[in-house]
Every structure is written in C-alpha cells, then in structure tokens.
Structure 1
C-alpha cells in the first residue's frame, strides 16, 4: 500500500500516466461524496475549537479563519457557524495584513503561522480524521495504492510559502507520521 498526493488541477491522463495502478481520490471541497467529508471546509459540526473551552465549529476551515487576526480585524466567531462550505475565507485585501492566529476566541496571545498550524489546524484536522471521518481513513488504508488530490501538495508544516495540504496530512496520519503539535519534530529535522 502506498499513499501519495497530487495536484487536483492535473489532467486525468497525467495522473493515470504517473500513477498507473493507483486509485485516484479527490479530497477537496469539490469532491463527490463520501470523499468531500475529508475537506477542511466540510461542515461536520461539533469540532472543538482549540483554546476555547466548550466552543465548537462546523468545519476545520471555520476554526482557521475565525481565529485569524488581521491588522484591521480581530477574530470572527461567525465563521464557526458556516455550514455551506462558502464564505469562509478572510482575506488580506479586505482586512489588512495577517498578524497571527489568536489563542482562542478570547485569547490574549497571537500565534505565528507555523505555531498556529501546529496548535490550531493540526489538532482540529486530526479530530475530524479520528471522530468524523475514521471510516474514510480505514477505506483509504484498505484501497492499496492511492493518490489523494488536493489543490496544494505541501506537507511540510514548517514551509510557509505554500498552504498546507490536508491531503498530505491524511497521508501522514495513515502512515503514522503525524507532525508534532509541540514542534519537537522540527527540532529533529522534519516529520
């Protein structure tokens, strides 16, 4: 069994040529059921918001966007309630440069980009893999050779030049190589 990650924008011919015996599985917000449930935009509901005791979100992306702080705008708890997979993004064009991610809706600290990936995004996404999509993770394990399609393929939590690929996180989860949320893996040279 092998799991790989490829860009969703690649053609079918390119994918089948590069991965001739692999099952191709789209895990983006545009994927068909049931695989769309692996998208961070999917409204599973009940996802615990890190640093916010008793607060939950509909989606992982809702958590990421809600806790983002811009020069001109603080947190946006409304992002936690969105169930349509649309209207989640908050942009620098509208709100000014990103200052960091707040440690909870009422936290007093801002986390750097890498720290926010580790302490907000990773726990939230791992929670859905373990509690809302465990059946899909098992199906992927049983499929043999699989290529997961995502819009980005960056699986390096320390690389801020490209958005983090949730497909790469699925791969790391299945392979038992989940990045450390405390950053200790960075100190020893990677995931």
Structure 2
C-alpha cells in the first residue's frame, strides 16, 4: 500500500494527474463522514489528557489547545469539553506569545514545541487512531489493499522536528498505516 499526503487546496485535476487511480480521502474537519472522524478536531470524547490522571477530552485539538501556555494566559481546561469542531484555537493575537505547553493541567513544567509534539500531540492522536477511529483506519488499510491512497490535509509536514510548519495529521495517519510512527 502506498499512502500519499497532499494539500486539500490542490484541485481534483492536479490530484488525478499526480496520483492516477488513487483513492483521494479528505481527513480534515471539512471532510465527509466517516473520514472526518480522523480529524484532530473531531469530538470523540473520552480521550485521556497526558500527564493528567482521570481527566479526558473531547478532541485531540482540545487537548493541544488546553495545555498551551501564553505570556498572558495559562492552560484553558474549558477547551477539553468543546464538542464543536470550531472555537478550539487559542491565538497569540489574543493571549500573547506562546511560552510552551504545560505538562498536564496542573504540571509545573513547560514543554517546548517539539517536546510537546512528542509528549502530548503524538500519543494523544495515536490513542484516537487506535481507540476511537480504528474502523476508519481499518477502512483505509482495506482501501489501500487495492490502490494507492491520497490523504488530504491543510498541511503536509510529516516531520515532527520541523517546527517551521504545523504538523500534518494526515502524515501521521500515513505513518500509522505504514508502521513507521514517529
């Protein structure tokens, strides 16, 4: 199975030319069912919050945003309970520069961006792939058994250490499908 990641902003003609015969699957928050369930914004519920025993979140993005710490604002536990796929982002415009991600809701340690990706985002998203979106992962494996698969995302960066661009969850899905999790 060959799994590719492409920008959702690419047109159908470009995708067809670049990946002839491939199944194109939009895994963003704007994607159709059942694939939207692979979006980090999707409110699965019951997602364990790293370093915070007995606390769960609705979405992966909710965990990521809740633990983010700014110059003018600490963690925001309210983001853990957001069940819409909107209203999750916390921005520097409103809260000042990002200082890091707190190691748990009440932790004293702030993690840098790459360390937070590895200690918070990756394990949380993998947990969702294995426990909440397993049927969609199995369907992608089945689909990939017959042809190439192209996963659409807004970003295509699959390198956890590349901090210049946001990490692509589609790239993480591809890594998961190909048994090369970062």
Q: TM-score, normalised by structure 2?
A: 0.98
Match of 2:174 among 171, 174, 180: 171
Taking the aligned partners of 2:35 and 2:137, their CA distance within structure 1 comes to 10
Give SS of 1:13's match: helix
Structure 2 residues not aligned, in runs of 5+: none
Residue 19 (structure 1) aligns with: 19
Root-mean-square deviation (CA), in Å?
A: 0.5
**1:54-98: CA deviations, max 9, x gaps?**
000000000000000000000000000000111000000000000
Shift in Å at residue 112 of structure 1?
Answer: 0.4
Residue 32 (structure 2) aligns with: 32
Structure 1 residues not aligned, in runs of 5+: 180-191
**1:141-182: CA deviations, max 9, x gaps?**
111210000000000000000000000000001111111xxx
Shift in Å at residue 2 of structure 1?
Answer: 0.6
Displacement over 3 Å in runs of 4+: none
Taking the aligned partners of 1:21 and 1:141, their CA distance within structure 2 comes to 16
Shift in Å at residue 21 of structure 1?
Answer: 1.1
Q: TM-score, normalised by structure 1?
A: 0.93
Taking the aligned partners of 1:118 and 1:153, their CA distance within structure 2 comes to 18
Shift in Å at residue 50 of structure 1?
Answer: 0.2
Taking the aligned partners of 2:87 and 2:139, their CA distance within structure 1 comes to 30
Structure 2 residue 138 is matched with structure 1 residue 138: yes
Taking the aligned partners of 1:35 and 1:141, their CA distance within structure 2 comes to 13
> How many residues are matched?
179
Taking the aligned partners of 2:74 and 2:92, their CA distance within structure 1 comes to 12
Residue 186 (structure 1) aligns with: none
Q: Pairwise mapping of residues 69-108 of structure 1 onto structure 2 (< 5 A)?
A: 69-108=69-108
**1:13-45: CA deviations, max 9, x gaps?**
110110011000000000010000000000000
Taking the aligned partners of 1:97 and 1:154, their CA distance within structure 2 comes to 23
Match of 2:165 among 148, 152, 162: 162
Taking the aligned partners of 2:3 and 2:136, their CA distance within structure 1 comes to 14
Higher RCO (C-alpha under 8 Å, 6+ residues apart): 2
